[in-house]
Amino acid sequence: MSQAGRAFLLWLLAMLAGAAIVWNSRFTADMSFFLPSHPSAEQQVLVDQLKEGVVSRLLMVAIAGGDETQRAALSRELRGRLGKMPEFVSVQNGESDSQAADRDFLFRHRYLLSPAVTPERFTVDGLEKSISDSVDRLASPLGMLLKPLLPRDPTGEMLELLRGLNAGAQPDSKAGVWASHDGERAMLLIQTAALGSDTDGQENAIKLIRAQFADTAQGQGIANASLQLSGPGLFAVNSRATIKDEVSRLSTISTLAIVAVLFFVYRSLRLLGLGMLPVVSGALAGVVAVSLAYGTVFGITVGFGAALIGEAVDYSIYYFVQSGRNGLTDWKQRFWPTIRLGVLTSTAGFGALLFSGFPGLAQLGLYSLAGVATAALVTRFVLPQLGQANGQTRDLTPFGRRALHGMQTLRHLRWPVLALALAATATLFAEREHLWNPELAALSPVSPADQAVDMALRADIGAPDARYLVVIDAADRESALRQAEATGHRLDALVASGQLGGYDSPSRFLPSQASQDARRASLPTAEQLRPRLLAALVDSPLAAGKLDAFLSDVEQARSAGNIERASLNGTSLALAVDSLLLPHGAGWSVLLPLRAGEQPIDPSAIRSALAGNDALFIDMKAEFDKLYNDYLHEAMLLSLAGLGAIVVLLAATLRSPRRLGAVLLPLVLAVLLVIAGLHLLGERLHLMHLIGMLLIVAVGSNYALFFDRASDEHRLDPETLASMLLANLTTAIGFGTLALSQVPVLHAVGVTVGPGAILALLLAAIFAPRASAA
Amino acid sequence: MIKRLASGLLLAALALPACAAFDVGQLMDDLARHKGGKAKFVEKKYISLLDKPVISTGELTYTAPAFLEKRTLTPKVETLRLEKDLLSIEREKQKISINLASQPEALAFIDSIRGTLTGNRAALEKNYLLSLAGNPEKWVLTLLPSDQKISALVLRITVSGSKNQIRSIEYLQADGDRAVMSIEPLEAK
């Protein structure tokens, strides 16, 4: 077998192995792109909530069209249909029957649930006090609601239970079901069985809701009925669709444009095919490397492929154009070392990202690094075995000559460019406070329209925003619940002093076994209770004889078993407990969401109230902001480190401060001009623009190096310059395509590196040492 | 004889509306002219479960058309406030707010008081059948719920008063219990 055949076979085998790995890779387009790979304890809570938390499984639904009664009928039937499906854990629309089960449960178990149940409450004095309070309450406007309960619950335990619940948070109601504030839409709150991180499950659930709604609306003959839906699940599904769509769209645009350019130059399908070989290999190697290193490949990473195509095709352009005139050996000796150095600086830039704690960034780094290195290696070691241009390509010499001539003219721009760069620096310095977008949301692929719908639905339905949480970890369920009760006591003090509006706790509906035992032990026997009751009611308008139901209820509570998790089945309280009490690794976690009262929550007051307890207080918004700031800070360090590595690499190879300066100057100027330009165009900079700056240096250094080599040789051939222009064009196409993306991560890199690459070449030409023009 | 009696009765029947020009419409007009004020109240609730009525006392403040406050002073301090459709109850440091727009039954109940105070006949007739007896000096307005959901709570509401001043309200509940509130104006605005 010939050497060429062997090389091709080896390459083919490697590609097949790579394809097999890619085939078995897991691709995802979920939030984990943005979630920290090494989270702190607080961030871990954030991550868990986003992936598995109840809030992440809530979908808000609004029904519009028809009249009030028709919307209510739609809402009822939709609830009836969805409620039976295993895909949904709960479907709430405010119908009263759903609340009856909860009320029954609370009333039936009131003596084990009420925190007011103590031995003192059932002494003569305790009974006298609690019963006279209950009688007084009958005078209240709410007395009418309490009166039916009095014979069975004279001590008012039910009221104790309801006291801690958030009564004010119910949505409005029209025709017996929840409605928006303006009354024009019926509202439902649906919890999916699928986790928030299960995008397939969420997509399926959303499809089911839409299909069932369409069917219901048709069945009831309401033609103008429409359904609006929002929630984290929809965001995930839409983001994935956007990313999927963009990956194919951007790659297609980038590939077509580059293929057109190459075909124009190569004028041969064979050369075109060979020229794309390093690109395909690089793209495949990138996905394989990411898949092997991280297990999961993010959609956004694959979307970055559009840029990689533009960058990776450069090497084969250099190879074909430069070796076409001067032969392979000459190319290997004269040009390959320069290209190699360019590849090394590029990999140094991408490699810096590998150390990021922001998983998306680390993947982009690895993907690009593996892709660029593979493309270069395939160009160097596989392409020469397979063929050369042999003079088929379009003669670029005249074009190169004209470009060389243009370069002479461009030189006059040296001073104006320096002045412009100075102005850019001044602008950036003056505006330094307004350059950056300080929120993680800047990176989120959720469209502003989707966010607006979400805000509107959230306001109408009063969905929990769960900004403040207290989190407790414990070894088992019982100790988790005990700690929840202990922490609850501390929080009660804040509620009493008005610093806190209230809080939710799983122990409200599922107290620890210890508390239940203690409460049961507080209950007297019927023989003990009867005489005490008589004594307590001597002066009361309530005759003890009317409280037989109370005596028998207490007796029943004494003999009934404890409340278990299963006792809650069939009520919406089960959901409340499951969302606040979670098995977690080897142990259990308890979440206590806090509600603000009249005054906003003061985190330091909560922290000091919890001091000495294992409970962790978390402000979700602050954590998000901190997370993003950490990423940004880290990205700055990594960019500087990447830049440092590139400088060291160049310094070690060039061994001349003057040459190093000549290579770096155009790159620094390009970065300055691009950033100032973006700012003036109104683009708020975020983390990915910063990464873009690093990439301008990593990618742009290739051009500056060619000019450096030319000045070293005291000549710059027209073909070399033409190949650089061509490579620059494909790179600009690749990154420029990303600028079309609606995904902020890709868009930012595109708008930064696309123009940056062109500027880097132009500036390198402008500032190229005069000797090179010989 | 019988014929004379019959025609006499007929005459009397015909004459009755003529001499009693006082009707629901006129009462409503009178009430609508009342712009608000303060009053003391004593409310007695007769509850079958209890051997004697539960008595509460306090003050009422009304400012036309949408503000009503009932401050109970005994036996427990409690404030009930109605501003437009927002009902809030404050008791023992606890405050409950209810948006009546979302609670049609409670709204109908509240409208019986509010509609009478403001002389809003349309609001009253939405949920109740009205009948009036007496004269402007001493009238009795009876409200019978027309909706079954409301009559499951309240069988009859009897409001009595003099001129444009309400002097007592009686609620007869479906279970036979009743509440009587007597109102003594403190000052007129």
DSSP string, B101-131: GG-HHHHHHHHHHHHHHHT-HHHHHHHEEEE
**Cβ–Cβ gap A141/B56 under 8 Å:** no
B14 found inside a domain? no
* Cis peptide preceding A718, ω within 30 of 0: no
| Same domain as A386, residue A244 | yes
Q: Which domain holds residue B62?
A: 22-188
Q: Which domain holds residue A401?
A: 3-25+235-434+623-773
Pairing state of beta strands B94-99 and B128-135? unpaired
Beta-bridge mates of residue A59: A190
A91 Cβ neighbours under 8 A, 6+ residues apart:
A78, A79, A82, A83, A188, A189, A190, A191
Give the pair of three-digit tokens for residue A440.
């993680």
Which pLDDT does position A585 carry in this prediction?
Answer: 76
ipTM value: 0.76
A749 found inside a domain? yes
Per residue in A398-443, pLDDT (tens digit) is 888 888 888 888 888 889 999 999 999 999 999 888 888 877 777 8
Residue B26's pLDDT band, with cuts at 50, 70 and 90, is confident
| Same domain as A385, residue A349 | yes
Which pLDDT does position A463 carry in this prediction?
Answer: 65
| Same domain as A585, residue A700 | no
| Same domain as A707, residue A632 | yes
Residue B77's pLDDT band, with cuts at 50, 70 and 90, is confident
Q: Inform me whether the C-beta atom of residue B174 falls under 8 Å from chain A C-beta atoms.
A: no
Per-position b or e across B8-18, b if 16+ CB within 10 A of its CB:
eeeeeeeeeee
Q: Inform me whether the C-beta atom of residue B153 falls under 8 Å from chain A C-beta atoms.
A: yes
**Cβ–Cβ gap B89/A142 under 8 Å:** yes
B7 found inside a domain? no
Q: Inform me whether the C-beta atom of residue B173 falls under 8 Å from chain A C-beta atoms.
A: yes
Interface test with A, best of B41, B43, B47, B49 (most A CBs within 10 A): B49
Read off φ and ψ for residue A724, nearest 5 degrees: -65, -40
A292 found inside a domain? yes
A165 Cβ neighbours under 8 A, 6+ residues apart:
A508
Residue B78's pLDDT band, with cuts at 50, 70 and 90, is confident
B112 found inside a domain? yes
**Cβ–Cβ gap A172/B70 under 8 Å:** no
Beta-bridge mates of residue B178: B46, B172
Read off φ and ψ for residue B164, nearest 5 degrees: -100, 20
Distance, in angstroms, between A549 CA and closest chain B CA?
A: 13
Domain count, chain A: 2
Read off φ and ψ for residue A495, nearest 5 degrees: -65, -45
Which pLDDT does position A465 carry in this prediction?
Answer: 63
Residue A393: which of A301, A263, A565 has the closest Cα?
A263
Distance CA A244, CA A251 (A): 11
Distance CA A467, CA A279 (A): 46
B111 found inside a domain? yes
A57 found inside a domain? no
Regarding pTM above 0.90, the answer is no
CA A16 and chain centroid, separation? 33
**Cβ–Cβ gap B43/A496 under 8 Å:** no
H helical segments located in A472-563: 477-496, 513-522, 526-536, 548-559
Distance, in angstroms, between A679 CA and closest chain B CA?
A: 48
Q: Inform me whether the C-beta atom of residue B89 falls under 8 Å from chain A C-beta atoms.
A: yes
Distance CA A99, CA B103 (A): 15
Give the pair of three-digit tokens for residue A716.
């710059």
| Same domain as A638, residue A602 | no
Pairing state of beta strands A616-619 and A502-503? unpaired
Q: From residue B161, how far is each of A54, A198, A224, A540, B135 by CA, in Å?
A: 56, 67, 51, 34, 10
| Same domain as A658, residue A608 | no
The residue count for chain B: 189
pLDDT at B12 over 60: no
Q: Check if the beta carbon of residue A445 is closer than 8 Å to that of residue A743.
A: yes
Cross-chain CB nearest to B72 (options A139, A150, A183)? A139
Q: Inform me whether the C-beta atom of residue A684 falls under 8 Å from chain B C-beta atoms.
A: no
Burial of A625 (0-12, 13-18, 19+ CB in 10 A): middle
**Cβ–Cβ gap B101/A151 under 8 Å:** no
B131 found inside a domain? yes
A151 Cβ neighbours under 8 A, 6+ residues apart:
A546, A547, A548, A549, A550, B49
Q: In this structure, what is the dihedral angle of CA atoms A337, A342, A290, A441, given to the nearest 10 degrees?
A: 180
Q: Inform me whether the C-beta atom of residue B55 falls under 8 Å from chain A C-beta atoms.
A: yes
**Cβ–Cβ gap A139/B54 under 8 Å:** yes
| Same domain as A485, residue A349 | no
- Strands of A386-536, DSSP E: 468-474, 502-503
A409 found inside a domain? yes
Domain final position from A614, A632, A656: A614
Give the nearest chain A residue to B45 (CA atoms).
A139
Domain with residue B59: its CATH number is: 2.50.20.10
Determine how many CB atoms are found less than 10 A away from the CB of residue A316.
Answer: 26
| Same domain as A301, residue A366 | yes
Residue with tokens 């001009």: A673
Q: Check if the beta carbon of residue A286 is closer than 8 Å to that of residue A368.
A: yes
Which pLDDT does position B17 carry in this prediction?
Answer: 45
Q: Check if the beta carbon of residue B21 is closer than 8 Å to that of residue B134.
A: no
| Same domain as A394, residue A247 | yes
CA B181 and chain centroid, separation? 9
| Same domain as A411, residue A273 | yes
B12 found inside a domain? no
Cross-chain CB nearest to B76 (options A136, A151, A167)? A136
Domain final position from A571, A588, A614: A614
Distance CA A700, CA A753 (A): 9
Give the pair of three-digit tokens for residue A637.
């360090």
Domain count, chain B: 1
Residue with tokens 């040492």: A769
Q: Inform me whether the C-beta atom of residue A599 falls under 8 Å from chain B C-beta atoms.
A: no
Distance, in angstroms, between B51 CA and closest chain A CA?
A: 5
Which pLDDT does position B40 carry in this prediction?
Answer: 92
Q: From residue A67, how far is each of A63, A318, B99 by CA, in Å?
A: 11, 69, 22
Residue B21's pLDDT band, with cuts at 50, 70 and 90, is low
**Which residues of chain A have a CB within 8 Å of the CB of B51?**
541-543
Which pLDDT does position A133 carry in this prediction?
Answer: 87
**Cβ–Cβ gap A542/B49 under 8 Å:** yes
A367 found inside a domain? yes
Pairing state of beta strands A296-298 and A26-28? parallel
Beta-bridge mates of residue A239: none
- Reported for A35-40, long-range contacts at CB under 8 A and 24+ positions apart, including other chains, are A35/A359, A36/A357, A36/A358, A36/A359, A36/A627, A36/A630, A37/A357, A37/A358, A37/A359, A37/A362, A38/A357
Residue A224: which of A29, A112, A70 has the closest Cα?
A70
Q: Inform me whether the C-beta atom of residue B80 falls under 8 Å from chain A C-beta atoms.
A: yes
Which pLDDT does position A391 carry in this prediction?
Answer: 63
Q: From residue A755, how far is each of A691, A759, A760 by CA, in Å?
A: 14, 6, 8
CA A704 and chain centroid, separation? 38
pLDDT at B16 over 60: no
Residue A666: which of A697, A690, A643, A706 has the closest Cα?
A697
pLDDT at B18 over 50: no
Calculate Rg over the CA atoms of chain B.
19
Q: Inform me whether the C-beta atom of residue B93 falls under 8 Å from chain A C-beta atoms.
A: yes
| Same domain as A633, residue A681 | yes
Which pLDDT does position A675 carry in this prediction?
Answer: 94
| Same domain as A469, residue A343 | no
Q: Check if the beta carbon of residue A472 is closer than 8 Å to that of residue A614.
A: yes
Residue with tokens 């335990």: A157
Q: From residue A225, how far is each of A67, A180, A209, A221 by CA, in Å?
A: 9, 15, 14, 9
Which pLDDT does position A371 carry in this prediction?
Answer: 93
Distance CA B72, CA B60 (A): 9
List chain A residues with pLDDT less than 70.
1, 98, 164, 166-170, 325, 388-392, 463-465, 770-774
Calculate Rg over the CA atoms of chain A.
35
How confident is the prediction for chain B on average, in pLDDT?
80
Q: Inform me whether the C-beta atom of residue A546 falls under 8 Å from chain B C-beta atoms.
A: yes
Q: Check if the beta carbon of residue A584 is closer than 8 Å to that of residue A10.
A: no
Q: Which amino acid is at A123?
A: T
Burial of A408 (0-12, 13-18, 19+ CB in 10 A): exposed
Which pLDDT does position A166 carry in this prediction?
Answer: 59
Which pLDDT does position A201 carry in this prediction?
Answer: 92
Domain final position from A594, A614, A634: A614
Under DSSP, is residue A567 helix (H, G, I), strand (E, B) or coil?
A: helix
Which pLDDT does position B15 carry in this prediction?
Answer: 43
A114 found inside a domain? no
Residue B11's pLDDT band, with cuts at 50, 70 and 90, is very low
A58 found inside a domain? no
Q: Which amino acid is at B166?
A: I
> DSSP of chain B, one letter per residue?
-HHHHHHHHHHHHHHHHHH----HHHHHHHHHH--EEEEEEEEEEE-TTBSS-EEEEEEEEEETTTEEEEEEEESS-EEEEEETTEEEEEETTEEEEEEGGG-HHHHHHHHHHHHHHHT-HHHHHHHEEEEEEEETTEEEEEEEE-SHHHHTTEEEEEEEEETTEEEEEEEEETTS-EEEEEEEEEEE-
**Cβ–Cβ gap B89/A172 under 8 Å:** no
Residue with tokens 């009253």: B124
A77 found inside a domain? no
